[in-house]
Amino acid sequence: NQDEAKLKEYLDELEFLAFTAGATVDKRFTQKMSQPDSKTFVGSGKAEEIRNYIKENGITTVIFDDELSPSQLKNLEKEMEVKILDRTNLILDIFAQRAQTSYARTQVELAQYEYLLPRLTRMWTHLERQRGGIGMRGPGETEIETDRRIIRDRISLLKEKLKTIDKQMSTQRQNRGKMVRVALVGYTNVGKSTLMNAISKSEVFAENKLFATLDTTVRKVVVGNLPFLLTDTVGFIRKLPTQLVESFKSTLDEVREADLLIHVVDISHDSFEDHINSVNQILMEIGAHQKPMIMVFNKIDAFAYEKKEEDDLTPSNRKNISLAEWEKTWMSKSKYPTVFISALTKENFPEMKKMIYDEVLKIHISRFPYND
C-alpha cells in the first residue's frame, strides 16, 4: 500500500529528526482521519490510547509530525501531562543545537521567538475567556502581557541585528567580484558537506545527522584551471518551518545569487524523489528555480538493489530497479546534466568535474564574451 509506505517514510524521517535532537523513540502512533481534530489533532480515542501508553511506560515527550495550532498544543499538554513537540518545534530545536556562529544563533533565536509569540497569545486569550474578560486583570494576564512585550522587543532587536549582518554579508558577496558562484543545494544529509570537502579538499564538518551545516561555507575551487566559488548551504527538508526560511535569508541569498546550482540527491534513500520535490519547492519559494543546475546523484555505493520474484512487477517497488536502470531513466528524463557518483569512494568524480567545468565555462564565457 502506497499510503502506508509514505507514512512510514515520514515517520522514519521524524524519528531521525528526534534522534538528531537527542531523543530515543519508543513507539509510533498513526491515525487515519479526513482532517486533524481541531482540539487535539488526533481523535479523542487515539488521545486516550496515547495517554495510557505514556502512563504505563514513563514517556516524557510526544512529538507530532505536523505543526500544531497553539490551542492544539495547549490542549494536548493539558491532556497528556508531558512535553508536546511538533515538527516545527523539533526542527527549531535542532537548529538551535547546531548554530555555531553568532549569525546562525541570532537567526535561530528569531525563528524560535516568532514560533513562540502566537502560542503565548493564544494562551492569553484562553485565560481571558476563562476569567470572563473585561475587568479581570489578574496576575496571569499581566505576566503573559509582559512576556509578550519582552518577546516583541527581543524580536525587533534580533531583526535589527540581522539586518546589519545581512548588509555586511551582501557587501561581502559583492566584493567577491565577477567570480562564478556555484552553490550546493539538496535535502538534508544527502552528502553536500562531504562533496564540498572532496571537491575543495577542505575540511567541512560532515556528520550522519540532520542539519550538520547551518552556516554557509564558501571555498575557492579550481577545476581544470577554471576558478570559481563553491558554497555549501543549509540542507532543505520537507515542511521547513517558514520562520526559518525567512530568518535564514542570508544563507538562502547564497543560493539566490548563485550562477549555478549543484543539486545533490541521496539516491540510496527510499524517498529521494520526494526530497527532490521538496528542494525544488523551496527553490521556487526563494525564486531560484530557473538557474542552471546540475543533478548529482550521490551515494551510489550505498544503493540497495534487491530483485524480488520474477513476476513481481509492482512499478512502485523501486527495489526491483537496478542502478543502471535508474541512471537510464533519469538521464533521459532530466532537463539538467545528470551524473551518478559516490562522494565517499569518489566513483565517477572525473565525469562530475567535467560536467561542472563545462557549466562554469559556459557562464564564464557569457560573462566575458570577448576575453579569449
172 binds ligand GDP (CB under 6 A): no
Nearer residue to ligand GDP within complex by CB, 295 or 343? 343
343 is an interface residue for ligand GDP by CB under 6 A: yes
Of 15-23, 26-34, 78-86, 181-189, which part binds ligand GDP (CB under 6 A)? Answer: 181-189
Does 193 bind ligand GDP (CB under 6 A)? Our answer is yes
Whether residue 215 contacts residue 290, with contact meaning beta carbons closer than 8 Å, is answered with no
Burial bucket for residue 363 (CB in 10 Å: 0-12, 13-18, 19+): middle
CB 345, min distance to ligand GDP, A: 7
- Nearer to ligand GDP among residue 162 and residue 190 (C-beta): 190
Q: At its nearest, how many Å lie between ligand GDP and the CB of residue 31? A: 31
Cα 284 from Cα 263, distance rounded (Å): 14
Examine residue 337 and tell whether it contacts ligand GDP (CB under 6 A).
Answer: no
| SS3 call for 233 | coil
Q: Please pick, from the candidates 130, 208, 277, 314, the single residue that binds ligand GDP as defined by CB under 6 A.
A: 208
**Does residue 233 touch ligand GDP according to CB under 6 A?**
no
Identify which of residues 92 and 123 has a Cβ nearer to ligand GDP in the complex. Answer: 92
Choice between 123 and 295, CB closer to ligand GDP: 295
Place of cell 520474477: 310
Tell me the angle at which helices 102-130 and 87-98 cross, rounded to the nearest 10 degrees.
150
H-helix or E-strand spanning residue 265: strand 260-266
Of residues 292 through 321, those in contact with ligand GDP by CB under 6 A are 298-299, 301-302
The verdict on 238 binding ligand GDP (CB under 6 A) reads no
Instruction: Closer to ligand GDP by CB, 161 or 219: give it.
Output: 219
281, burial (CB in 10 Å: exposed 0-12, middle 13-18, buried 19+):
middle
Task: Tell me the angle at which helices 87-98 and 2-21 cross, rounded to the nearest 10 degrees.
Answer: 40
Of 344, 354, 362, 363, the residue at the interface with ligand GDP (CB under 6 A) is: 344
The piece of 150-158, 160-168, 200-208, 327-335 that touches ligand GDP (CB under 6 A) is 200-208
Alpha carbon distances (Å) from 52 to 29, 56, 73, 372 = 12, 6, 18, 74
Residue 363 contacts ligand GDP per CB under 6 A:
no
- Structure-derived torsion over alpha carbons of residues 146, 147, 149, 150, reported in degrees to the nearest 10: 120
- Cross-strand pairs, 219: 230
Q: Pick from 153, 207, 351, 358: which binds ligand GDP (CB under 6 A)?
A: 207
Q: How far apart are CA 294 and CA 359, in angstroms?
A: 8
Alpha-carbon distance of 183 to 293, in angstroms, equals 10
Q: Which of 191, 240, 338, 339 binds ligand GDP (CB under 6 A)?
A: 191
Q: How far is the CB of 80 from ligand GDP (least distance, A)?
A: 33
Where does this chain bind ligand GDP (CB under 6 A)? 186, 188-194, 206-208, 212-213, 235, 298-299, 301-302, 342-344
